[in-house]
Chain A
Amino acid sequence: MTGDKILEIKNLHVYYLTEEETIRAVNGLNLEVSEGESVGLVGETGAGKTTACLAVMQLVPDPPGVIADGEILYKGENLIYASEKRHREIRGNGISMIFQDPMTALNPVMTIGQQLMEVVQTHQKLGRAQAKDKVIKILEIVGVKGDRFNDYPHQFSGGMKQRVVITMALLCQPELLIADEPTTALDVTIQAQVLEIIRKLQKDLGTSMLLISHDLGVVAEICTKVAIMYAGEIVEFGTVPEVFRSTRHPYTRGLFESIPRLESKSEKLTPIDGLPPNPADLPCGCAFHPRCRHRKPVCEREEPPMRGEGHIYKCHFEL
């Protein structure tokens, strides 16, 4: 079910400039999301996942953040050069975002009804009654009863708040939904409920999605394609079965080996040596080389090429 490209990110660089140093959060990121697709973006803390998504939403805090290079094309339109007015049109109607922490994403002194109505009335020309109908309809799709319209966020549990946040993102039927760790703050049984809702929405509404997660399990459940991010760039990309079954990049392999699995019997995990790199002081050559088991002298000197077709990985060697 792949159609036109909704989002294309080309060679994106986002830096945070401070007095002492330049933090290179995103370094030459390339990524595409087509219609009806859901792409998982996986990486550890500091890999640049959230910054990349904020760049797509044109919400990188400036200062200290700057988009130093690259293109972000939404249906062929470069968002970096678009006006602020145009960004506001696209946010909500075209692209919307679910933030990680439902506890802080809602305004505590407004009822959820007021907050949701605000979204509809800002982005679409609807009367009060119509807007309210719409809000209640979508609330019920995600499993919040309409009679909670006048409740305040503190009256909701974490899982319920996340449903309200999902409702907010869906109100204007965006074509692309960016979900930044939507279930990380939730308990597992509640996470399972929310993932079920997201799956249902994909099926019923056909929304394309970019899902950020550090949890490979969540990505396997929801996404069709997956991009593995390390030090601000994609190191491996492919369909979920390709990346999960015939893993290529040493970093991706390391990630899989470090997860304790319910299925495995072994006593010892195989962690990746060392630590994720400091984005203010990235290693030369391949950014992963200081932690890589297969490193050769060339890895320290030269940036590796992208290998493969469809299922691609960035490494000097055919693995």
Chain B
Amino acid sequence: METLLEVRNLNKFFKVAAGELRALDNVSFKINKGETLGIVGESGCGKSTLGRVILRLHEPTSGRVLFDGMDITSFSPEEMRQMRRHMQIVFQDPYASLNPRMTISQSIEEPLRVFFPQMREADRRKRIAELMELVGLSARTYNAYPHEFDGGRRQRVAIARTLAVNPKFVVCDEPVSSLDVSVQAQILNLMVELRKRMNLTYIFISHDLSVVKHISDYVGVMYLGRMVEFAPKSEIFKNPLHPYTRALLSAIPSTEANGRERLILEGEITSPINPKPGCRFAPRCPYAREICAEKNIPLLEHSPSHQLACVRSDETIGAPFAYNAPA
């Protein structure tokens, strides 16, 4: 398997009035070509920042992003602009990401004009029609405006626009979170199909573990700017080791639930501003000991395919865990 994207020791700190907000704290991982990495975590864990820093929509504070073997963090703005032909993003809110004064064909056309300025008018029209068909938009909506569309169809337009330049890699930042379930399923199916057809590599950011499970090959779990667990999907869902991953899985209301044991966390996410040393999750962790608050706990190899940032895993491994076992 060939690595398409590698992130090494990526940091992103924001200066705020109260000090330093650590949105990304030493995050490293790799994604292979054609695979999907799901990133899960709750609001404020840095998952959206991660997607944006990878595309350099935010500049990283330090660390490197290697795309196809090239260190894009050293690229000039012009080089980076050319690079974005290969690296695209689908945003969460299709109501905010489309220009309300442009017809949808104009929206899809824009990236073509930017990246292929010599393309002939007729070819461009043909390409727009192809793209619309690809994402399941009917040709008669060519001159429609976004306000005529519901969320699902707007998200189709946003996807068509993203794919117009034939990218290799797409960051999907909560692309289905604002959609109703019946429409969400349509968009998820579309994204899976497009990945196969166009050999795309995704980073799929979501707070919804069921959605991430559906679409991902690998899953990274983030908590307050740090990656706490990283493993193939089947490992994360069958054998979650980090107490936070377990709490997340346990917290999902399930239609199958009947009397299962839940792991309900005490307290709330602590502030990412000037964080204390030690494991970020320690204040809410039922397994925490003094050692957890003393030193930083790095993401280490637990088994060849499973990385974990927890020193208490001896206990979590022992503890039986079934998030969906009916009583």
Interface residues of chain A, those whose CB is within 8 Å of chain B, are 44-45, 157-160, 187-193, 195-196, 214-218, 220-221, 244, 254-263, 267-272, 275-276
- The A-contacting residues of B in range 238-269, CB under 8 angstroms, are 247-257, 262, 264-265, 268-269
A188 and B184 CA atoms in complex are apart in Å by 19
Task: Report yes or no: B186 in contact with A271, Cβ–Cβ below 8 A.
Answer: yes
- B42: Cβ under 8 A from any A Cβ: yes
- B323: Cβ under 8 A from any A Cβ: yes
Task: Report yes or no: B251 in contact with A271, Cβ–Cβ below 8 A.
Answer: no
A sample of 24 cross-chain residue pairs with beta-carbon separation below 8 angstroms, ordered by A number, consists of A44-B182, A188-B42, A190-B268, A192-B262, A195-B253, A220-B254, A220-B256, A254-B182, A260-B213, A261-B256, A262-B249, A262-B323, A262-B324, A263-B256, A268-B189, A269-B214, A270-B185, A271-B183, A271-B184, A271-B185, A271-B186, A272-B182, A275-B150, A275-B153
Residues A157 and B213 in contact in the complex (CB < 8 Å), given A188-B252, A271-B183, A271-B185: no
Which residues of the other chain, A, contact B150 by a CB distance below 8 angstroms?
A: 275
Task: Report yes or no: B185 in contact with A160, Cβ–Cβ below 8 A.
Answer: no
A192 and B214 CA atoms in complex are apart in Å by 22
Which residues of the other chain, A, contact B257 by a CB distance below 8 angstroms?
A: 217, 220-221
Nearest CB of B to A186, in Å? 9
A269 and B214 CA atoms in complex are apart in Å by 9
CB < 8 Å neighbour of B213 from A160, A187, A262, A271: A262
Interface residues of chain B, those whose CB is within 8 Å of chain A, are 42-43, 150, 152-153, 180-186, 188-189, 192, 207, 209-211, 213-214, 237, 247-257, 262, 264-265, 268-269, 323-324
Which residues of the other chain, A, contact B183 by a CB distance below 8 angstroms?
A: 271, 275
A258 and B189 CA atoms in complex are apart in Å by 10
A214 and B268 CA atoms in complex are apart in Å by 25
Give the 3 A-B CB pairs with smallest separation, nearest first: A217-B253, A271-B185, A258-B185
Task: Report yes or no: B210 in contact with A259, Cβ–Cβ below 8 A.
Answer: yes
A157 and B250 CA atoms in complex are apart in Å by 22
Which residues of the other chain, A, contact B265 by a CB distance below 8 angstroms?
A: 189, 192-193
Task: Report yes or no: B210 in contact with A261, Cβ–Cβ below 8 A.
Answer: yes
CB < 8 Å neighbour of B253 from A193, A218, A244: A218
Which residues of the other chain, A, contact B264 by a CB distance below 8 angstroms?
A: 189, 192-193, 196
CB < 8 Å neighbour of A258 from B43, B182, B248, B250: B182
Which residues of the other chain, A, contact B250 by a CB distance below 8 angstroms?
A: 192
A313 and B60 CA atoms in complex are apart in Å by 55
Closest to B264 in A: A192
Task: Report yes or no: A191 in contact with B254, Cβ–Cβ below 8 A.
Answer: no
Nearest CB of B to A187, in Å? 4
Residues A262 and B192 in contact in the complex (CB < 8 Å), given A192-B264, A275-B152: no
> 8 other contacts beyond A214-B181, A262-B213, with CB at 8 A cut-off?
A188-B252, A189-B42, A189-B251, A216-B255, A217-B252, A259-B181, A261-B255, A268-B189
A295 and B185 CA atoms in complex are apart in Å by 21
A258 and B179 CA atoms in complex are apart in Å by 12
A188 and B323 CA atoms in complex are apart in Å by 14
Closest to A183 in B: B253
A31 and B207 CA atoms in complex are apart in Å by 33
CB < 8 Å neighbour of B209 from A45, A257, A262: A262
Which residues of the other chain, B, contact A244 by a CB distance below 8 angstroms?
A: 255
CB < 8 Å neighbour of B211 from A255, A260, A271: A260
Closest to B214 in A: A260
A167 and B153 CA atoms in complex are apart in Å by 39
Which residues of the other chain, A, contact B182 by a CB distance below 8 angstroms?
A: 44, 254-255, 258, 271-272, 276
Task: Report yes or no: B185 in contact with A221, Cβ–Cβ below 8 A.
Answer: no
Residues A276 and B180 in contact in the complex (CB < 8 Å), given A217-B252, A269-B189: yes
Which residues of the other chain, A, contact B210 by a CB distance below 8 angstroms?
A: 259-262
Closest to B253 in A: A217
Task: Report yes or no: A258 in contact with B268, Cβ–Cβ below 8 A.
Answer: no
A263 and B326 CA atoms in complex are apart in Å by 11
Residues A189 and B247 in contact in the complex (CB < 8 Å), given A45-B180, A259-B181, A275-B152: yes
Closest to A216 in B: B255
Nearest CB of B to A144, in Å? 12
Task: Report yes or no: B251 in contact with A214, Cβ–Cβ below 8 A.
Answer: no
A43 and B228 CA atoms in complex are apart in Å by 36
Which residues of the other chain, A, contact B248 by a CB distance below 8 angstroms?
A: 188-189
Which residues of the other chain, A, contact B323 by a CB distance below 8 angstroms?
A: 262
